[in-house]
A and B are shown apart, each in its own frame.
Chain A
């Protein structure tokens, strides 16, 4: 068992694991400690000097991030000496800062702004000219670098050394000319994490830049459906739509990080071409249609459903409950993409809830294998109505289009889609909207069999009817 020790922080008793990081212990106990370079997911650098503390019996202040917890330690960071140290250090960090908060995306969640309000000097004492650096650098993988805003905390270089081990970033030159520099360009699949860990506005996301002020956004805590890993994420959104996806620390699955593919999963949800209402194919153009007419049109036809692997356990269950044995049901699985596992998080199996689907099929006495899908496709006749639940994230559209060519024999083809209307969807007679992952609560089962939660955020359209509602049509 891990041994606990008691220590005093600013006069308050706190408890921590013996030998654990002192700064982390303070943060875990709700204490405020300014810090830039420390990140729980990276090695210790001790370069920003913001987390200084004094300890009884130790002659000089030292950085808390580079110290460990011991029994009976008496530590303070509220003494005049420490306050002065932090103020002076912050002054140094801001010496060459361009003060362009009004046009900076980090504003509102920026370490410099936050600490300035607390420890700032307010009146600039700079008489020398500021050192200017390149402000708009596209360093690849949707990351933009503004070298003037950088405080050289080295979180980003440690990330590319320690997490991705791709070594693209370094600090070139020295003194006030020192500058984050990219070797050629970013090449790793986790580059957007750099934007998250940069404590200031030096690294920003090309995708998110200038789109929204962060104080106009709310977070929905949910699970990434980008692959079978199922990382914990939060999606930032407001009434106009979703804007970005960020990882949420989760010890069991993704730790501090997520991959760049996962950053894209929100795009279809508030896309202007997202299907909002039931639509009918009029010579290749989809126009709003009356649902009752569609219901009428499928009456008496034999129903065949092809489900996707990104539905929740509850959706599968409700669906099978409605359909019972009145329809043939098969499962379309997304093809493998890339390596089975990239050694960090990303998995080649993009079926977010394959395990949940298999379990539900089995429970309903149905076959979820590709062979069963082939069988269903081969048996399609002209009096059939085929419903295809469109997968939420299609990494390989061609593969899906091949599936669509195989349903042409059916006289009636209906897509249930949580996303955009693709050109290949012309094969359908009708399109019906179903909720996206951001509009439903439920569980999915990830690669290791763990239950992961989906949470609903705002709704962007008429998407409250899930697949079981349409499944119920087999009864008419």
Chain B
């Protein structure tokens, strides 16, 4: 994720992180799906983000302790993948595809237009804390180009106006 930020300082959320009882049960179930603990790291980090939205240092320490995986190895994984966030993100995550097909249909302009409209930057939550925007490589939905993903829903084709409209509706 931090390929766009130069800093490697893990951010603190100023409070400890712990799985809820429900997520702890989910975690145990995840472990049963793989031969070794390391293999479960990706789904486990997604689970943390489900609960906490992003991955503060407290969560990294918690997972490291829980899974007995060195902190640095978890940071390697987090920094490798774009969909893990080591900085605070907003409660709604919007992925705008800027890969080849979507770009041909104006995806990059939509992304830039949205940043401008909401007066924000890559991943930076809007001032009301509602939305974080992130440009993305192919979302695997080229037939909907230009498309975006709002939380877990795909929408497309969109243009800047309809995209703004959809985001304004978000809670």
- Do A and B interact with each other, yes or no? yes
Tell me if A177 is interfacial: C-beta within 8 Å of chain B.
yes
- What are 15 A-B contacts defined by CB distance under 8 Å? A161-B70, A167-B70, A167-B73, A168-B72, A171-B76, A172-B2, A172-B75, A173-B2, A173-B79, A174-B79, A179-B8, A181-B8, A183-B70, A183-B71, A183-B75
Q: How far is the CA of A181 from the CA of B70 in the complex (A)?
A: 14
Tell me if A174 and B80 are in contact (CB < 8 A). yes
**Complex Cα gap A175–B3 (Å):** 9
A interface footprint on B1-42 (CB within 8 Å = 1, 0 otherwise): 011001010000000000000000000000000000000000
Asked if A170 and B3 make an inter-chain contact with CB atoms under 8 angstroms apart, the answer reads no
Residue among A134, A172, A177 with max Cβ neighbours from chain B (10 Å): A172
The 5 closest A-B pairs by CB, nearest first: A167-B70, A170-B72, A172-B79, A183-B72, A170-B76
Contacts of A168 in B (CB 8 A): 72
Spell out B's residues near A (CB within 8 Å). 2-3, 6, 8, 70-73, 75-76, 79-80
Question: If A172-B8, A173-B80 touch, does A181 touch B75 (CB 8 Å cutoff)?
Answer: yes
- How many A-B pairs have beta carbons closer than 8 Å: the answer is 37
Residues of A within 8 Å of B3, CB to CB, are 173-175, 177
Q: Among B72, B79, B80, find the residue whose CB has the most chain A CB atoms closer than 10 A.
A: B72
Q: Are A170 and B73 in contact (CB under 8 A)?
A: yes
Is residue A169 within 8 Å, beta carbon to beta carbon, of the partner chain?
yes
| Chain B positions within 8 Å of A174 at CB level | 3, 79-80
Task: Report chain B residues within 8 Å CB of A167.
Answer: 70-73
Return B85 CB to nearest CB of chain A, in Å: 14
How far apart sit A172 and B73, CA to CA, in the bound complex (Å)?
9
Residues of A within 8 A of B8 (CB): 172, 179, 181
- Chain A residue nearest in CB terms to B71: A183
Find chain B residues with CB under 8 A from A170 CB. Answer: 72-73, 75-76
Q: How far is the CA of A85 from the CA of B73 in the complex (A)?
A: 31
Inter-chain pairs besides A161-B70, A170-B76, 8 sampled, C-beta below 8 Å: A167-B70, A168-B72, A172-B2, A173-B2, A173-B3, A173-B79, A181-B72, A183-B71
Query: Once the chains bind, are A172 and B71 in contact (CB under 8 Å)?
Result: no
Cα A175 to Cα B76 with chains together (Å) = 13
Q: How far is the CA of A170 from the CA of B77 in the complex (A)?
A: 10
Closest Cβ neighbor of A133 among chain B residues: B6
Chain A hits for B6, CB < 8 A: 134
Distance in Å from the Cβ of B12 to the closest Cβ of chain A?
Answer: 13
Query: Across the interface, which residues of B come within 8 angstroms of A175, CB to CB?
Result: 3
Closest CB of chain A to B68's CB: distance in Å? 11
Most chain A C-beta atoms within 10 Å of own C-beta, residue among B3, B71, B73, B75: B3
Closest chain B CB from A74 CB (angstroms): 39
**Complexed CA–CA distance, A169 and B71 (Å):** 10
CB distance from B79 to the nearest CB of A (A): 4
Given the complex, which residues of B lie within 8 Å of A161, measured CB to CB?
70
| A181: B residues at CB distance < 8 A | 8, 72, 75, 79
CA distance A173 to B79 in the complex (A): 5
CA distance A179 to B76 in the complex (A): 10
Contact A172:B70 (CB < 8 A) given known A177-B3, A181-B8? no
Taking CB atoms, residues of chain A closer than 8 Å to B76 are 170-172
Q: How far is the CB of A188 from chain B (nearest CB, A)?
A: 13
Chain B nearest CB from A35 CB (Å) reads 24
CA distance A174 to B80 in the complex (A): 5
Nearest CB to that of A175 among chain B residues? Answer: B3
* B3 → chain A closest CB, angstroms: 5
Looking at A174, A181, A183, the one whose CB has the most chain B CB atoms below 10 A away is: A183
Residues of B within 8 A of A179 (CB): 8
Report the minimum CB–CB distance from A471 to chain B (whole Å). Answer: 55
Chain A positions within 8 Å of B71 at CB level? 167, 183
Nearest chain A residue, comparing its CB with the CB of B73: A170
Binary contact readout A165-209 vs B (1 if CB under 8 angstroms, 0 otherwise): 001111111110101010100000000000000000000000000
Cβ of B84 to closest chain A Cβ, rounded Å: 12
Nearest residue in A to B60 (C-beta to C-beta)? Answer: A183
Which chain B residues border A134 with CB–CB below 8 Å?
6
